[in-house]
Structure 1
Amino acid sequence: MSILNDSSERFLHDYLNNASPTGFESAGQKLWIDYIRPYVDEIALDTYGTAYGVINPGKDYRVVIEGHADEISWFVHYITDNGYLYVVRNGGSDHMIAPSKRVNIHGEKGIVRGVFGWPAIHTRRGEDSKLAPKIENIFIDIGAKDKDEVHEMGVQVGSVITYPDDLEVMNDRYYCGRALDNRMGGFCIAQVARLIRERNIDLPFSLYIVNSVQEEVGLRGAQMIADRIKPQVAIVTDVTHDTNTPMLDKKKVGDVKAGKGPSVTTAPAVHNKLLQLIIEAARENDIDFQREASSRATGTDTDAFAYSNGGVASALISLPLKYMHTTVEMAAKSDVEGVIELILHSLEKIEDGMSFNYFEV
């Protein structure tokens, strides 16, 4: 029986379909806060927009579960005299998928529709036949006759650009759309808060459900909120690559497959005792899981929490994802539920004042 309900599904679609580009996450954060409000005792927001709810506030022992709220996007970088727009990345946007994509430009007068144009195949002859998308040559057409008309439409250098692609369910097995990385993580931790309330789970510590901003540009929101909360433990959820899709070499990228459960990571930033607690929770509750290893950094907010405040016991639970940083990211519904259950049962194993020191001195 699914742990998700109709309200969960409505929230998921509303949340993922709403634009939440890095640095401009406010609209999505409002939706997220409104959803978790009935399941937490306190709500707060920091200066740059990281949102969090607290269950059992005021305890000395503080545990964080965290996802990040931002999606990759573009900025208008240069406007030509004849009204075409050139861009720079806001996060890890992939220039290879841009040509022929529709876009929303968030201008001063509201959303302006545009397209990433591309020369027709008929016009690419000789050396031009090797033409490939690069950050320097992709451009947006909004149907303006010149730069002045672009400005009249409310588009300026610095206007943020997002894709309009909506979430859909494929074959009743996969969620597919943009921004699953990592607003699906924000969805999962919101469901953990809901289940704690609905199952009357009594936690002996303060639990912070944190939806951080600006992960896609260097874990910035997690760095800021870790300094504010000063937790003893952090369980972070993000996405990881399904490495069973075509054109990937498992010897280089590991072996993770969507539909086989959440992935747990071994890495220097991942605390071994907390990782083992999570693995035990999976085994005790018959939750399928996979394993991977990260050299040096995990590249997720785990790193920001682990190396904050003199060291925080941190671990990473990842959702396998196909086609990351495209508009057709895909995640198995069963894996989403696995992430939720694994976080929840891991929390149930954490004791008040639990020490994660490797040995006594």
Structure 2
Amino acid sequence: MRQESFDFLQKYLNNPSPTGFEKEGQKLWLDYLKPYVDTYFVDTYGTAVGVINPDAKYKVVIEAHADEIAYFVNYITKEGYIYLRRNGGSDALIAPSKRVNIHTAKGTVKAVFGWPAIHVRKPEQEKAPNIETIFLDCGASSKQEVEEMGVHVGSVVTFEDEFTVMNNKYYVGRALDNRIGGFMIAEVARRLKEEGKQLPFGLYIVNAVQEEIGLRGAEMIAHRIQPDVAIITDVIHDTQSPMYEKKTAGDLACGKGPVITYGPAVQNNLRDLIIQTAEETETPFQRAAATRATGTDTDAFAYAGAGIASALISLPLKYMHTTVETVHQDDVDNVIKLIYETLFRIEDGHDFRYFS
């Protein structure tokens, strides 16, 4: 990976971008993308869109989501301890002993998830941590002191952990789900610009907000753009580590390539075009089967308006919704390659209908 791209990836992943509060991360992303697009816009809730060939009638979207799971301050005790509510699918099990940032109008307040020591816990306290038992300690001794720091009910809390590279092979950090996707689609736009490639349609590079609480940003922007085609990228579970059951979770692995999904929301002809592209460009890929829904922004685009030909290219990821989400560098490169190459196989006015 070129150094400028790596520097952006690191800066982008380290920036907090909790669901509903993605603004600063979206600014970083747009600043990186602007040199590679003709124009851009941002919607009311913060979804950011770069556009190439904005006057074209036929529209193709490549999309990722920008938000990370987080917490909201929900209750402050008189002693100054803080209880929380989830903002997205935050896992209370991993919280104890973690450092966090509480985001306030006065700046960032540092805190930790406290937990009783192993040799003083009572038998009834040996149950797994849950949202009712985990709490934050920000070094205050009273509710008044907490509030004087700028912390209040509704303040957003994110984990402090930052991006690292593990053994020159894996990217590790919080919020790779799915800001690594935002990075990948931005790299597609960069390649198109720097390699002087022309597309016969309008390309909309979409970084959507609020995916983690129900695909909300994608739903809004799909209705606004009303594209003809949408290629979504998100993460999917690597199932090789302990405690996965391959009979139900599938057999997917980091390092073996992008994952192409089958399911009702996935338009078959578009999916087959992506598979054909992978085969012709010798890009390794894996397959996955969804049930009623993919659980990604693919669903929001597929069922928007009169229906949009939509498909999903996923990045295998270990330890989803933890602070050590892990992806293989080769898979990142191959997702970028597969989206990029697929674009050249979509024609102006391409009709993906099954029959006519």
Q: TM-score range by the shorter chain?
A: over 0.9
Is structure 2 residue 205 aligned with structure 1 residue 209?
yes
Residue 200 of structure 1, CA deviation? 1.3
Amino acid at match of 2:205: I
Residue 139 of structure 1, CA deviation? 0.3
Partner residue of 2:110 out of 106, 109, 113: 113
| Secondary structure, aligned partner of 2:54 | coil
Corresponding position of 2:51? 54
Amino acid at match of 1:81: K
Query: 2-side partners of 1:43 and 1:56: how far apart?
Result: 11
Is structure 2 residue 132 aligned with structure 1 residue 125?
no
Partner residue of 1:280 out of 260, 276, 281: 276
Amino acid at match of 2:209: V
Corresponding position of 2:80? 83
Query: 2-side partners of 1:191 and 1:295: how far apart?
Result: 31
Relative to structure 1, the CA distance from residue 355 to residue 131 in structure 2 (aligned partners, 3 Å threshold; closer, same or farther) is same
| Secondary structure, aligned partner of 1:156 | coil
Supply the RMSD in Å over aligned alpha carbons: 0.7
Corresponding position of 1:16? 13
Amino acid at match of 2:86: R
Aligned length: 356
Q: Identity of aligned pairs, percent? A: 63
Amino acid at match of 1:352: D
Query: In 2, are the aligned partners of 1:124 and 1:131 still within 8 Å (CA)?
Result: no
Provide Cα deviations, 1:165-212, integer angstroms capped at 9, x if missing partner: 110111110000000000000000000000011111110000000000
Is structure 2 residue 27 aligned with structure 1 residue 40?
no
Query: 2-side partners of 1:8 and 1:350: how far apart?
Result: 27
Matches within 5 A, 1:90-109: 90-109=87-106
Contiguous gaps of at least 5 residues in structure 1: none
Give TM-score, length-normalised by structure 1: 0.98
Amino acid at match of 1:180: L
| Secondary structure, aligned partner of 1:36 | helix
Residue 131 of structure 1, CA deviation? 2.9
Query: 2-side partners of 1:282 and 1:125: how far apart?
Result: 56
Partner residue of 1:151 out of 133, 147, 151: 147
Query: 1-side partners of 2:214 and 2:179: how far apart?
Result: 16
Query: 1-side partners of 2:3 and 2:160: how far apart?
Result: 24
Query: In 2, are the aligned partners of 1:236 and 1:302 still within 8 Å (CA)?
Result: yes
Amino acid at match of 2:121: R
Residue 252 of structure 1, CA deviation? 1.1
Amino acid at match of 1:18: N
| Secondary structure, aligned partner of 1:216 | coil
Is structure 2 residue 329 aligned with structure 1 residue 333?
yes
Residue 104 of structure 1, CA deviation? 0.2
Provide Cα deviations, 1:18-66, integer angstroms capped at 9, x if missing partner: 0000000000000000001110000110000000100111111000000
Partner residue of 2:347 out of 351, 355, 359: 351
Query: 2-side partners of 1:261 and 1:183: how far apart?
Result: 18
Is structure 2 residue 247 aligned with structure 1 residue 241?
no
Query: 2-side partners of 1:171 and 1:284: how far apart?
Result: 31
Query: 2-side partners of 1:5 and 1:125: how far apart?
Result: 53
| Secondary structure, aligned partner of 1:44 | strand
Corresponding position of 2:4? 7
Residue 348 of structure 1, CA deviation? 0.7
Q: Which runs of 4+ in 1 moved over 2 A?
A: 125-128
Is structure 2 residue 218 aligned with structure 1 residue 226?
no
Provide Cα deviations, 1:71-112, integer angstroms capped at 9, x if missing partner: 000000111111100000000000100000000000121100
Amino acid at match of 1:82: E
Amino acid at match of 2:82: L
Residue 126 of structure 1, CA deviation? 3.5
Amino acid at match of 2:59: R
Query: 2-side partners of 1:283 and 1:199: how far apart?
Result: 22
